[in-house]
A and B are shown apart, each in its own frame.
Chain A
Amino acid sequence: MRPETPHDETVPHSHPDPSVDPHAPLADGGRALRVGIGGPVGSGKTALVAALCRALGDELRLAVVTNDIYTTEDADFLKRNGVLAPERIRAVETGCCPHTAIRDDISANLDAIEDLEDALGPLDLMLVESGGDNLTATFSKGLIDYQIFVVDVAGGDKVPRKGGPGVTTADLLVINKTDLAPMVGADLSVMDRDARARRGTLPTIFLSIAEDRQAQPVADWIRHLVGHRRPGQVTVG
């Protein structure tokens, strides 16, 4: 058992100056805002994508790329659940290495994004779900503009303390399945404290998608990004 991280320990993070946006400016007009959704197996990435489709599907022109390890399971889930028209969903196969397809060799994902843009015309938001992987798997900046890392309380309240690039540097950390906390004996205040220590000023959202079927706080975070990008045009027809 590691000793607890002391409160005053400062963990290096990616926002040395919180008032400065570290992201390269996005090309305006042209292409959709691309948001990557990563995190360990089963943490609720597909559930979050489905929730965001429910929340934003009528408001933004959106499409989804999924990266399954074995199958097209996640894409099929989204299609079955009718949260988004099937032609707005593409699956990428990742050959044993989900993190390779979102970080080291992003070509198949870029192809899928381009195919969606070609088929559907201009879009406002492109969600890219990574295959479930480990705590070190993050998205390449060549693929996405912002990334959300999804962990769940059932994985243990130690996860934020363990850190890793996903927990430490993601633009948004989502701690999902808070409804399960009493069942698994997870202490949310410990997770909150550790996430703050790891992430500095970067935001963390506690969520139960089982209870909040539209993941409202995450949808709002995305609305803000899209609006920020196209002032005065937050919603589209």
Chain B
Amino acid sequence: MDTTALLLADGRFPSGGHAHSAGLEAAVAAGQVNGLPELETFLRGRLATAGRVAAAFAAATRRVAADEPEPAATVTLLDEELDARTASPALRRASRRQGRALLRAGRATWPAPLLNRVPAHPDGYHHPVALGLTAAAAGLSPADAALIGAYGVLTGPASAAVRLLGLDPYGTQALLARLAGACDAVARAAVADAALPPADLPAHTAPLADIHAENHATWEVRLFAS
């Protein structure tokens, strides 16, 4: 971890994440998250599913993008594999939208030629793939990419919870601090996965999150895009 990694991990990195709650808004509306205890359960669940998958795909994409001379086909394959792991069309859209925004910010911040070796995706790459590409452009390691991926899976909905539920911000930070060890462990596992063929990367899912996301997309009034 160095300053470059901190920049990319920072919630202030302008990559569109502020408009997304990662399913938290729907969980709040369903009465499943009202305070810090349920937020902890929600975040642990996300870390073990979306976090595990996002970290592995970020690390794998970073490896391919920076270490292989012709990464285009494998990056495309990684993106397709992630699509197959994302059952909800609403979540696919949200992931691609955030991936597109991240890559825009990443390109502007670290304009590395290696980004030109992968074709532009018309709808944007999935967010973890975009994260791996940005990490490669920034000169970061697969371990950095994995950790930033897992960390984002936690901090995105946590900051949405502060805004939606008016949670005590110190209590929320203390919760994140308690989850730090679990986050590190997910990132380590992801690094170990990164060399696997794309089809063998983790495929943990959370069906309730998929259902929530589909419902959320039909709401007439919502604060977050997802």
Residues in chain A within 8 A of chain B (CB atoms): 69-71, 92-97, 100-101, 104-108, 110-111
Interface residues of B in 156-174 (CB under 8 A from A): 160, 163-164
- Please name all residues of chain B whose beta carbon is closer than 8 Å to the beta carbon of A111 when the two chains form the complex: 16, 97, 100-101, 104
| CB neighbours of B18 from chain A (8 A) | 94-97, 100-101, 104-105
Q: A69 touches which one: B14, B21, B164, B223 (CB < 8 A)? A: B223
CA distance A106 to B17 in the complex (A): 11
A-B contact count (CB 8 A): 62
Query: Closest Cβ of chain B: how far from A148's Cβ, in Å?
Result: 23
Contact assessment for B97 and A94 in the assembled complex, using a CB-CB cutoff below 8 Å: no
22 intermolecular pairs with C-beta atoms under 8 Å apart = A71-B222, A95-B19, A95-B20, A95-B21, A95-B223, A95-B225, A96-B18, A97-B19, A97-B163, A101-B18, A104-B12, A104-B18, A105-B14, A105-B17, A105-B18, A105-B101, A107-B14, A107-B15, A107-B16, A108-B16, A108-B225, A111-B101
Contact A110 B160 (CB under 8 A): no
Q: Known A-B contacts: A93-B19, A100-B18. Give 16 more (CB < 8 A).
A: A69-B223, A71-B222, A95-B18, A95-B19, A96-B164, A96-B224, A97-B163, A104-B14, A104-B18, A105-B17, A107-B16, A107-B101, A107-B105, A108-B19, A111-B100, A111-B104
Once the chains bind, are A106 and B225 in contact (CB under 8 Å)?
Answer: no
Q: Give B contacts to A, CB under 8 Å.
A: 12, 14-21, 97, 100-101, 104-105, 160, 163-164, 220-225
Contact A95 B100 (CB under 8 A): no
